Amino acid sequence: MEGFADIHSHILWGVDDGAVDPEGMLAIVQMAYRNGTRFLCATPHYHPGFFGENEQKSLQVFNSLKTALQRQYPDLRLALGNELRYGPAAAEWLEKGRCRTLNESDYVLVDFSQSEAAGKIAEALRRLMNAGYRPILAHAERYEKFGRDWKSIAQLRDMGVRIQLDAASIFGGWDRHSKHMSRILLKHQVVDYIASDAHDVDHRNPDLSKAFAFVSNQYGGRFAEDIFCRNAQKEIFQRSCSI
């Protein structure tokens, strides 16, 4: 295996509620690398009204991070995207480049309020698909209005939506609902990517190794490699894999 591919992280400092300074940003990246991550996508929140217009600063911080890490970690692939909080103007934000797809692909990481109605989530994702994007539902285990109805998430996946889980949710790091739902989705293999959603090096850290060991043991090694590495390497980092 070539290393974990983490498509959801808030490593860039000063652009959202993730890293607060350059030292905090480097500490997250170092922890990710030490624990086996070799592909890392920075996905600052794009949430107008909450995190402001952060597209220029995100690019500046990303470019300086990339330069700084080239010598220390030459085998770490960094990419830039956003975590888009869905709104009616979402497709327009993407078209105008105010909000970024992941690594300039067609894939868009999208999140919603935790209490958003399941039907509204489905409708929004369909709209993004109709606009030509491939939505990835961020931390799909969190949305409480799905209850334990994993089949509705499976239907979204059948429609073409990709499903991302946060690693920490598997162990109850967010709430009881998310723990339960993440395990149901894993059991039924309704998952495309597991990511860290790292914000710091404490309780929202970038370590994927513990979750990878758990998923390999419980749900199979091949499946674990797909959702921790192979899918994202192929689809987001546009790299052919021969694992």
> Torsions phi, psi of 60, nearest 5?
-60, -50
Q: Would you say 45 or 157 has its CB closer to Fe ion?
A: 45
Q: Would you say 85 or 157 has its CB closer to Fe ion?
A: 85
> For residues 66, 233, 155 and 149, what is the CA-based torsion angle, rounded to 10 degrees?
-70
What is the radius of gyration, based on Cα positions, of the chain? Answer: 17
Q: Would you say 55 or 83 has its CB closer to Fe ion?
A: 83
14's tokens: 């000063």
Closest distance of CB 32 from Fe ion, Å? 15
Strands (E) in 119-242, as ranges, are: 134-137, 162-166, 193-195
Q: What share of the chain is helix, strand, coil (3-state, %, to 5)?
A: 45, 15, 40
CB-count exposure of residue 22 (10 Å: 0-12, 13-18, 19+): middle
Closest distance of CB 125 from Fe ion, Å? 17
Closest distance of CB 241 from Fe ion, Å? 25
Which residue is closest to Fe ion by CB? 197
CB-count exposure of residue 67 (10 Å: 0-12, 13-18, 19+): exposed
Closest distance of CB 10 from Fe ion, Å? 6
Q: Would you say 204 or 225 has its CB closer to Fe ion?
A: 204
What count of other Cβ atoms lies within 10 Å of the Cβ of residue 71? 7
Q: Would you say 83 or 141 has its CB closer to Fe ion?
A: 83
Residue with tokens 């990303």: 62
What is the binding site for Fe ion (CB under 5 A)?
A: 83, 197
Q: Would you say 54 or 225 has its CB closer to Fe ion?
A: 54
Closest distance of CB 83 from Fe ion, Å? 5
Closest distance of CB 119 from Fe ion, Å? 23
